[in-house]
Structures are given as C-alpha cells and as structure tokens.
Structure 1
Amino acid sequence: MDPPIPYPTLQTWKSQCHSLDSSLFLLTLPKIELHVHLEGTLTPSLRFALARRNNIPLHSSRLNKDFHTLDELQEAYNLLQPRSVKGRGVSAFFEAYYGGMEVLRTEEDFYELAMAYFDKAKAMNVRYAEVMFDLQAHTRRGVGVETVMVALRRAREDAEKHLDVKSNFIACFLRDQSLESALTHYELLVPYHDIIVGVGLDGNEFERPPMLFDELFKRARRDGLRITAHCDVKQPNTLTNIRQVVEEIGGTGADRVDHGLDAAADASLVQAIKAKGTGMTLCPWAYVRHHTEQDLFGFLRVLKDEQVKICISCDSPAYVEDNWVLQNLSLLRLRGGLTDEELLGAQRDAIEMCWASEGVKTCLREDIHRFCEISSTL
C-alpha cells in the first residue's frame, strides 16, 4: 500500500493555498458550506482565551504536556501528520478535537465560538452555511442543553442581521455512543427544530456502521428533518457504510453523504449515488493525512466526471492547520486540476444540495448569477 502524502509536501501545499487567498475569483466566489463542525472551528487563540476566562488548565494527554502559552498550545493543533494515541480505531484528531471542548462552559462561550466562525465565513464570502454540532460531547461534561442551543440561536440571528451570513444547524450524534443516548438527546433538541434542519452521524466510526442508528434516522424523517452521515476515508468497511447511507438509513437512504470519497473506487456505488441524486460533502484537506495524492484527486475527478453533486467544505479547519473552505477550494484548483468553472459548478451543486428554504435558495442563485455577470466583465 502506498504511503499517504508526506508532511513536507503538505506544508508546501498549505503555503501555496494560503498564497492563493488573494485570488479575486476564489475570494469573491459566493460560497455555500454544508460540512463544518462548530467545535472544529475552535482556534488555538480562542481556546486559550476561553481557558483563561473559565480558569481551565490546558493539557494534552496525547502529548503528555500542559500548555501555558498560546505558542505552546499551537503544537496540539499540528495534526496533518496523524499520531495514534490509544491503539486501533482512535486518532490524534479525536483526542485534540474533544479535548478542546473542555473550555466551552457557558452560553457566552458557545456564542463567541459560533460568531467567530460566522465572522470568518463573512471574510471568505460564505453566503450560507449548515453548521454541525455535537450536543452529546457537551452534556457529558455537565453543560446544559439550553446553554448550547440558546447561544446557537442567538448567533444565527446575529450573523444574518449583522453579517448577512445565513445559516442553519445540523445536530450530529456520536456513533461511539449508544442509540439510546442519541434518541434521548434527539428529544432534548425537539424545542430547537426551528434552527435545526437535519441530523447527522459523526465521531469515531470504527466498528460502528450507520445502520446501528436507523431508528434515530427514521424518527428524524418522520419529523420532517433531513438526514446525513459521515463515511470517513480509509476506514474498514467504508464502502459498505457508504452504501448503507445511500440506500438504507431512514428507510430509503440519506439525503446527503458526508465525506464518502472512497465511493469512487466502486463504480456501482458511484452509479447508485448518481441515480439517487445524493449529494456529497467533501473536505479535501481532511483527507491528505490518509490518502495518496493520486487517490485523493483521482477519486474526486471520478465523482466530478460522473456528475455527482458535490459541496466543497472545510470539516474542522482549526484542527487541519487553519485550512478553511477557501483553502479547500484553493487545493482543488492548485493540485486537483479543477477549473474555475468546475469550482463555480460546485457552488451551484451546493445550492441544490442544501436544506435552506426555497426563498434562501433563490437568493443564493441570484448571488451566483451576479457573480458571473461581474466576472464576465473583468
């Protein structure tokens, strides 16, 4: 088996992608982001500030180290080269990701986290976002449901009012927890369905196939919510899991697949995704630690050539060395061979895939139309 992309190569790509941030096309392109984890946007600087405010010590069990300065904390975020910590099925990413949440304690903490993402989204011209969050990861730390959800509702309203960034939330459930826990937390979220458009499945999927949570997905379907689930790259049984998501969960299959890039290795699975019109959210910078360059961009080209609907997003950018949706698009332009027209087409796909109201979709289409008119005159 060929090794994944070497770390020095990734560092070069990162530098080149960030240098493309000033590209007029990429910067002004209206963007739709459908796969971003709120907790994965917790930057070292915000985490450090919240830790001080809440008097919480910063520690990494993976590195066996306490962090006393912001520069020291940054070390815990250098995860492009993975390091396993507790054996098979557990990753350095999850240790850092869940460890970072310890500083999130109050309504104001969650509000600041959400607004920091929306500020970043505004700067990158993200016009609409569907933001995932992990309620179970907070309640198990003693944080109340209202603490999280009131903050998210307030941030959503303020982002639309003050930043002109529209959004909805996707409630994700941890697949390494029980179905019973997922159903209990689903009930706790019923009063907040005004800001939740769908449910998803994330977390460590090692030996936890999506169909274990079929009852949850069927309940969400009955309540009028959309459904999706993560299918991470280079996982055992990943093709089986993708097929479950596409064809089985919720009775008829999901509305979208999160990740699922490895489906490109199975022509029949690609055809099933295409035939059902299932959208896929892809986050290239999240895969560089696991795939070869040939497979990463080759698989994406297969999906594009088969006209599978794709939305390019950023996943957990703070834990992928500060590579946000803009840098994910830059990577596909820089190394993936995607043309500006194909990147524009991905935004059109994302509008059709998103779970916004028809009114919001109309506004997003108008944004794209105006962008094309202006671009044609440059």
Structure 2
Amino acid sequence: MGIEEALPASARDKLRAELLAEDHIFIQALPKVELHVHIEGTITAELRWKFTQRNGTPLRIAANGSEIHSLKELEHAMDLLRPDPSRVNNDEERFQFFEAYYEGFACLKTKQDYFDLAMHYYENTARMNVRYAEIFFDPQGHTAKGMSWDVMMGGFREAKERAERELNVKSAWIMCFLRDLSPESAMEHYEAALPYRDIIVGIGLDSNEEDRPPVLFDEVFTRARKDGFKLTMHCDADSKNAHEHIRQCASVVAGHGLDRIDHGINAAEDQGLMNLIKERDLGMTICPWSYLRHTTFEELGPKIRTLLDVGIKVTINSDDPAYMEDCWVLHNMLLVRRLCNFSDREFLVLARNAVHACWASDAVKEGMLREIDLVQQHFMGEQ
C-alpha cells in the first residue's frame, strides 16, 4: 500500500477495517503489555455523553462553543475535531488536538466517572489479551477543573483492583506533568500525589513540547528518582528540536537520563542517539497510529524497523484511542505488521521487549514471559 502523504481520517478508517479483516490470530493470542496509553485519551463520545447525562452537566465542544444535545451531535463534533492533515497544517492540527483533548476532562465529576473510565479501558484491552498496563493520567488537567485527588485516585484505584481480580489485567499508573505548565505546578502536584504512590509507579511529562525542553523539569524528576519512582518523558514525533529532547531524556535529566522514552521515533534518524539509547538499555514506547497524521507509510515503517533492528527495546502501544479511530494496542500491532512486515518471531521480540521495559515486579514479569513462551510453543512448537 503506497501512500505519498499523511493519511486523512477517511483513509485511516478504511485502513482500520482492512487490518481487522486480516488474519491476526497469533497477534491476538500474544499476552500484551501496554506502556503508553493516556486514560483521558480513552474518553470516547459515548463516555462523554454518558457522564454528562448522568451528572446533568452541559456539553460543549471547543470548536464552536455550541451546546450538544445528542450523542449523534457529539460524535459529529468530535469527528470534526479529530486530527486530520487534509484540513489543517501540523501546528493547527496539534492545537486542535490538545484543545479537544483537555476539554474532555470537564465531563468527569465523580469517583464513579473515574472508575467507569478506567474500567472501560481495562475491559477493552482485556479482550485484546493485555495482561499488564502502565496508564498515564494528567492530574493538573483535573485539578484545574476543581477535582479532588481523593475522587480521582479513588476511582482509579477501585478500577485497578477490580480489573486484576476479575479480568486478569494487572496495572500501575504514571502521573504525567503538563509541560506547557510551570515546573512549580509540576512540583506542587508531585507532592500532592505522594499519598497515592501505592498505585503510582512512575512520573512522566506530556502535552505540547514546543520550546519546553525536558531539562526544564529536572528538579522534580530528580526528586522523584530519589523517592523511588520510575521516570519517562514524551519526545513527540517530528517535533521541534526532537533530537535534542531525546538526548536530554536519554542522558541528562535526573542525573543520567530517564528509564524510558515515550515516542522518540526520530532517534532512528541519528546513529549516535540510537547508540545512546541502546547503551542505556532504554525502552521506547512507540504508538504508530498516531504518527500517520504527520508522516507517510514510506517514512514511518523504516524508522520503526531500524529501531528494532539495532536492538532497541521497542514496544507498541495505543496512545489516545478515542482520538485515533478507536485504535487500541491490537490495531497498532496490526499496523506495524503492515508497515514493517514483521514476522511472528519479531512480534515475540516486541512482546518480550514490553515485559522487560515495564516496571512491574519480577514475579509479574516472569509470569508474563512464561505466557509468551506458551504462545510460542503452541504456534511454533518450540520455546
């Protein structure tokens, strides 16, 4: 499938259907670890409608400010806000995405809402054979709407416990700071989160990184490392100063660099960066579906293959399914198969990469690796 420009929304919808129509028994059967998904990026139109109707709150979409009166109207409004390079340039597209994304926070009002949101994620991914997930959340976006930590974290905690008990999905949470807000705000929220470290395993950094290099947040990340948290940061695809941001994440922030890099796909353009990432044995959380808005098949596939072929711990993840044609981790893995022509053995490498890159206990990791061995034995007759 040759494509000369980034895919518009209509072509991505068609591609999703094509991928699901293909044989994907082996990929479905693989036990999966997801390391890059934003819980707020899973707020579908149906969930927004459910929460606002339950809470009796008005629903507006930032594009025109008009009130929404039906689920059909909401679906149409969200479709218009869905990033689409055929309508806007990259800068406008990124702005529209963040505008739509943060507006979605306003529909969450109660602990039940947060519980239902998290369970929606767990139930979807359990059907895709996800066994462990590390889930991003953006507390600054919620406290800005007046939400209390107890309400937010109480809902997440109850969902986490139920998912492990009833769905066989274990998980932990990663608190991300919004990089377009101040380092002082990040430190304030870090301190407020300390009572919930029983479910928070790591600290991250996301949102618009325009002129917001990783080193701006060195103080809070250095403190988090001393307190025992794992560390990661976003290095968005094709962003300004992408190579320098990756370098700071890999070798500078918090003394000697982070524990993982989110996105960071532009490292494939720089042999020195790839050497550094491999030397530090950093995992990379790649979300291929999200990159289709900014790049072509011909550019994207070779980058992912290059990173895997040099021995970097590449992992495949979903990012923001509600804004990406309802594409979850399974769809992203199917896309990678088409982009890179990965073999089943290479998917075994990807699956084991995710286990090794995750921050679960050794016992949990060993259990997941055994599950992967069983799938290999079943399909290939070997371990």
Match of 2:317?
313
- In structure 2, relative to structure 1, the CA distance for the partners of 1:289 and 1:224 (3 Å cut) is same
The aligned runs of 1:37-186 (5 Å cut-off) are: 37-78=38-79, 79-82=82-85, 90-186=94-190
Paired residues in the alignment total: 376
Rounded to whole Å, the distance in 2 between the matches of 1:51 and 1:129 is 27
**Preserved CA contact (<8 Å) 2:314 2:350:** yes
What is the distance in 2 between the residues matched to 1:284 and 1:11? 15
Work out the CA distance in 2 between the residues paired with 1:76 and 1:334: 31
- Note the C-alpha offset of 1:15: 1.7
Matched residue SS, 2:135: strand
CA–CA distance in 2 between the matches of 1:352 and 1:342?
15
The whole-number CA distance in structure 1 between the counterparts of 2:292 and 2:249 is 23
- The CA deviation string for residues 153-210 of structure 1, in whole angstroms up to 9 with x for no partner, is 1111111011110000001000011111100000011111111111000011111111
Q: Which runs of 4+ in 1 moved over 3 A?
A: 5-9, 63-66, 82-90
Contact 1:35–1:281 (CA under 8 A) maintained in structure 2: yes
Shift, 1:376, TM fit: 2.6
Q: Aligned in 2, Cα 1:33/1:292: closer, same or farther, shift over 3 Å? A: same
Out of 217, 222, 234, which is 1:213 matched to?
217
1:226-245 matches, cutoff 5 A: 226-245=230-249
Q: How much has 1:266 moved relative to structure 2?
A: 1.0
Equivalent pair of 2:12/2:325 in contact (CA under 8 Å)? no
Q: Deviations over 1:76-116 (max 9, x none)?
A: 44324145699669522111111111110111100000011
Deviation at 1:17, TM superposition (A): 1.9
Tell me, in whole angstroms, the C-alpha distance in 2 between the residues paired with 1:161 and 1:154. 11
**Partner Cα distance (2:21, 2:105) in 1:** 30
TM-score by length of 1: 0.95
Match of 1:19 in 2: 21
Question: Is the 1:76–1:96 contact (alpha carbons within 8 Å) kept by the matching residues of 2?
Answer: no
Helix, strand or coil: the match of 1:335?
A: helix
CA–CA separation in structure 1 for the residues paired with 2:88 and 2:338: 30
Residue by residue, what CA displacement relative to the aligned partner does 1:262-281 show, whole Å, maximum 9, x if unpaired? 11111111111111111100
d(CA) in 2 for partners of 1:133, 1:342: 30
Aligned partner of 2:57: which letter?
I
Structure 1 stretches lacking a partner, 5+ long: none
Give the one of 204, 218, 224 matched to 2:228.
224
One-letter amino acid of the structure 2 residue matched with residue 36 of structure 1? V
Tell me if the contact between 1:264 and 1:270 (Cα under 8 Å) persists in the aligned partners.
Answer: yes
Distance 1:308 1:59 in 2: 43
Give the conservation status (yes or no) of the 8 Å contact 2:183–2:220.
yes
2:278 alignment partner AA: K
CA contact (8 A) 1:30 1:126 kept: yes
Cα drift, residue 371 of structure 1: 1.2
Q: Superposition pairs for residues 180-329 of structure 1, below 5 Å? A: 180-329=184-333
CA contact (8 A) 2:24 2:334 kept: no
SS in structure 1 at match of 2:228? coil
Aligned residues of 2:40 and 2:105 also touching (Cα < 8 A): yes
Cα gap change, 1:6 to 1:121, in 2 (>3 Å): closer
SS where residue 224 of structure 1 aligns?
A: coil
What CA distance in whole angstroms lies between the structure 2 residues aligned with 1:27 and 1:301? 21
Please tell me whether the aligned partners of residues 288 and 332 of structure 2 are also in contact (alpha carbons under 8 angstroms): yes
Distance in 2 separating the partners of 1:23 and 1:68: 39
Could you say if the C-alpha distance between residues 85 and 63 of structure 1 is closer, same or farther in structure 2, counting changes exceeding 3 Å? farther
TM-fit CA distance, 1:12: 2.7
Percent of aligned positions that are identical: 43
Matches of 2:78 and 2:16, distance apart in 1: 14
CA contact (8 A) 1:10 1:80 kept: no
Structure 2: how far apart are the matches of 1:64 and 1:338? 45
Give the root-mean-square deviation of aligned CA atoms.
1.9
Q: What letter is aligned with 2:41?
A: G
